[in-house]
Amino acid sequence: MSTTTLFDLDYLPRLPKRKDFRIGCIGAGFIMADCHLVAYRQAGFNPVAIASRTKDKAQAVAQRHAIPKVYGAYQELLADREIEVVDVAVPPDQQFAVIAEVVKHADHIRGILAQKPLAMNYAEARKIVDLCKNSGITLAVNQNMRYDQSVRACKSLLDQRVLGDVVFASIDMRAIPHWMPWQKGLGWVTLRIMSIHHLDTFRYWLGDPVRVFASVRPDPRTSAKFAHEDGICLYILEYAGGARAASWDDVWTGPALEGAQSDISIRWRVEGIDGLARGTIGWPDYPHRTPSTLDYTTKKIPGHWISPRWKEVWFPDAFVGTMAQLLCALEENRPAEISGDDNLRTMALVDACYLSAREHRAVELAEILS
């Protein structure tokens, strides 16, 4: 009983029938080289060109992943009429300018996969969404935690009503991310980089909350490197139907890098009227392949925990799903699962957290969306 799923859990992404969409990649950093392109080759997708500010870096990544064309400027890549889909992996303060160039080539470019956060804030994200919509380009945003296997399996349980109406959901992150150099200039740490995953996951599981209350403080470790407000982030989401969700995004986790023992993990929990699901996210162990996990119990099968397991991991396997859903959308002439329109509401929720923390009050999502 402990190793069978019993319920059919839809934990893997649906793949497109056509895998040879010609993908042009903008950016040659870690997320592109070690996640996107690893996943694309694994799935049989077709990256045909790459561009980076440093052509030598792009050349090295191209050689590693057998990409035939290398450009020193992304504008040159965009002019290549063979490109059908553009995968944008640049810092958020550069993404608007890049996408504004991409949409000028809507005569041959049909889809964009953009990084999260989509923009510097909700208002700029809306401009990007409108640019793509007006040009007829299908936009998807790389909210890749939706394709973590345990997160997706939990969504499948919720869709099948195995847990019943949700009472409470939580994510408890005690982990030390590797921060990117560009964050120093923006003064961002957690809300737009890590919390955005959790806020989007709550939206994926439960839909849009009515309001959020957030509290933040600087992370002592990162404060020694640059000033910021959103180090350790705590927030509570309130839903119209009575459900509550909360996350503790603790990027300090004690002096684990300063000599003390570490206690690092990401755990989540969803409690329903009819059942309970709990899981772990294997990402803190990267680059070791540590699959996320799920355990659930339900009144439908009294007295048992059911513990399905899989070999896939969030990084890099989930990145198959983020590109696959865009290619499926292009095949079927429909919006992407993680569309720009949907992501606007995640961006608005992040902005609501910043506003709530600064003004020490609950902020309704409608306040940002209006």
Q: Could you tell me what percent of the chain has a pLDDT over 90?
A: 97
Q: What are phi and psi of 268, to 5 degrees?
A: -130, 165
Task: Band the pLDDT of 1: cuts 50, 70, 90.
Answer: very low
Say if residues 261 and 241 touch (Cβ distance below 8 Å). no
- pLDDT for the residue 292: 98
Residue 118 has pLDDT above 80, yes or no: yes
**pLDDT tens per residue, range 334-351:** 999 999 999 999 999 999
User: Does residue 165 lie in a domain region?
Assistant: yes
User: Does residue 1 lie in a domain region?
Assistant: no
- pLDDT for the residue 370: 86
Do 138 and 181 sit in the same domain of this protein? no
Range 43-50 average pLDDT? 98
**pLDDT tens per residue, range 273-324:** 999 999 999 999 999 999 999 999 999 999 999 999 999 999 999 999 999 9
The whole domain housing 39 covers 22-144+322-336
- pLDDT for the residue 130: 98
**pLDDT tens per residue, range 59-96:** 999 999 999 999 999 999 999 999 999 999 999 999 99
Angstrom distance (rounded) from CA 86 to CA 17: 19
pTM score of the predicted model: 0.96
Task: Band the pLDDT of 5: cuts 50, 70, 90.
Answer: low
- pLDDT for the residue 2: 46
Task: Band the pLDDT of 7: cuts 50, 70, 90.
Answer: confident
Residue 4 has pLDDT above 60, yes or no: no
Do 302 and 356 sit in the same domain of this protein? yes
Do 163 and 140 sit in the same domain of this protein? no
137: domain CATH number is 3.40.50.720
User: Does residue 213 lie in a domain region?
Assistant: yes
The structure tokens listed for 187 are 């003064």
Angstrom distance (rounded) from CA 155 to CA 207: 11
Q: Is the dihedral of CA 289, 176, 196, 361 positive or negative?
A: positive
User: Does residue 110 lie in a domain region?
Assistant: yes
300: domain CATH number is 3.30.360.10
Do 230 and 355 sit in the same domain of this protein? yes
User: Does residue 4 lie in a domain region?
Assistant: no
How many Cα atoms occupy the beta-carbon half-sphere of 120 within 13 Å? 9
Do 295 and 206 sit in the same domain of this protein? yes
**pLDDT tens per residue, range 131-190:** 999 999 999 999 999 999 999 999 999 999 999 999 999 999 999 998 999 999 999 999
Number of domains in the chain: 2
Angstrom distance (rounded) from CA 27 to CA 17: 27
User: Does residue 248 lie in a domain region?
Assistant: yes
Do 152 and 269 sit in the same domain of this protein? yes
Buried b or exposed e, range 198-221, using 16+ CB within 10 angstroms: bbbbbbbbbebbebbbbebebbeb
